[in-house]
Amino acid sequence: MNQSRRRFIKNSSALLAGAALTHTTFAGNFKTSVPVSGHLWIYASKYSPESGYDCTPVLETIFGDFKYAGIDGLELMEAILRHDDAVQKLLDLSGKYSVPVTGSSYGADMWNKSKHTQILDDVDLITQRLHQAGGKTFGISVGNAGRVKTEDELDAQAALLKDVWKVCKKNKIQPNLHNHTYEVENNMHDLKGTIARIPGIALGPDLNWLVRAGIDPVTFIQTYGHQMVYMHIRDQKADGKWTEAVGDGVINFTAIADALKKVNFKGRAAIELAFDAPPVNPIKDDWKKSRMYVRDTFSW
């Protein structure tokens, strides 16, 4: 997770012209609109990998920015929830700014069988606290081996994911399989390997990482949209560099919105900002512009 967020995995010069383990119960909660949260990566990216990009010190700034921008909720990263006082702090800030915690992302080397006990214990702690803080979604990244995973590693990964799903169910959290580039490179070897072993697994794709791996998001939605309960939205320029705000780049979100309507997507979404250079605008204004664009384009 960290490597793929800290650097470009792939610059796409050819961007799209059209750009349980099931989601039924969760998606049924939303009949007319899709709640749009924000993932806090842009704040966390300033903190060290050793800390897990723990941006706890600036949580109040994040809640304030989201309130200003009209973001429907906050998606955390797991490091925040490892603090014993995290739940109360999050509840206090949620109440103060009227911005709920809606979920968290999570990454671990699930392909590595020697780490399974440690990961499962950690997932149990994180999802318990996430539920207590009001969260509902849990976007899972399975870990980058730095190479194509073996069949045995994909077997181990799938076995742990099945156990993770049970823990999430116990803790009243809806998990989804979240991708960076490594899961969807090499003809989607990693993701297809998981889906082959767990055919109905709920998906929460990051549409921009799909682009960077050479995957057309529209085709992905047409193929896997019936399994999607969540997604991340981010934009980029024709040269592959990220834009400050969603809507400022070349990704064809109109085509993506149309594809989502055709598969009757009723899950949740999150805007995630990432910068390649210091932003020109205040971050809160980039959030607000992005939120308005998503509202206008997707009618959410």
pLDDT at residue 12, as a whole number: 40
Residue 28 has pLDDT above 80, yes or no: no
Average pLDDT, the chain: 91
The CATH number given to whatever domain includes residue 29 is 3.20.20.150
Residue 5 has pLDDT above 60, yes or no: no
pLDDT at residue 123, as a whole number: 98
pLDDT at residue 201, as a whole number: 98
pLDDT at residue 16, as a whole number: 36
Q: What is the mean pLDDT of residues 11-24?
A: 37
- What is the residue type of 180? H
Domain of 255, in residue numbers: 2-298
DSSP 134: T
Residue 23 has pLDDT above 60, yes or no: no
- Distance separating alpha carbons of residues 219 and 262, to the nearest angstrom: 12
Strand (E) or helix (H) holding 105:
strand 101-107
**pLDDT range class, residue 33, cuts 50, 70, 90:** confident
Residue 27 has pLDDT above 50, yes or no: no
Residue 108 has pLDDT above 70, yes or no: yes
From 24-33, 57-66, 234-243, 283-292, the region with the lowest mean pLDDT: 24-33
For 122-157, what is each residue's pLDDT tens digit? 999 999 999 999 999 999 999 999 999 999 999 999
- Distance separating alpha carbons of residues 88 and 3, to the nearest angstrom: 31
pLDDT at residue 9, as a whole number: 34
CB atoms within 10 A of CB 207: 24
Residue 6 has pLDDT above 80, yes or no: no
- Distance separating alpha carbons of residues 267 and 31, to the nearest angstrom: 9
- Distance separating alpha carbons of residues 248 and 250, to the nearest angstrom: 7
Please tell me the total count of domains within the chain: 1
Residue 18 has pLDDT above 90, yes or no: no
Residue in 140, 214, 131 with CA at minimum distance from that of residue 176: 140
Counting residues of the chain whose pLDDT is more than 90, the rounded percentage is 89
- Distance separating alpha carbons of residues 200 and 224, to the nearest angstrom: 10
- What is the residue type of 205? P
Residue 2 has pLDDT above 70, yes or no: no
From 1-10, 90-99, 150-159, 200-209, the region with the lowest mean pLDDT: 1-10
Phi, psi at 120, each rounded to 5°: -65, -40
Q: What is the mean pLDDT of residues 236-254?
A: 97
pLDDT at residue 29, as a whole number: 36
Q: What is the mean pLDDT of residues 89-108?
A: 98
- Distance separating alpha carbons of residues 61 and 83, to the nearest angstrom: 18
CB atoms within 10 A of CB 263: 15
**pLDDT range class, residue 19, cuts 50, 70, 90:** very low
pLDDT at residue 177, as a whole number: 98
pLDDT at residue 236, as a whole number: 98
Residue 41 has pLDDT above 60, yes or no: yes
Positive/negative CA dihedral, 49, 52, 57, 63: positive
Strand (E) or helix (H) holding 193:
helix 185-197
Residue 17 has pLDDT above 60, yes or no: no
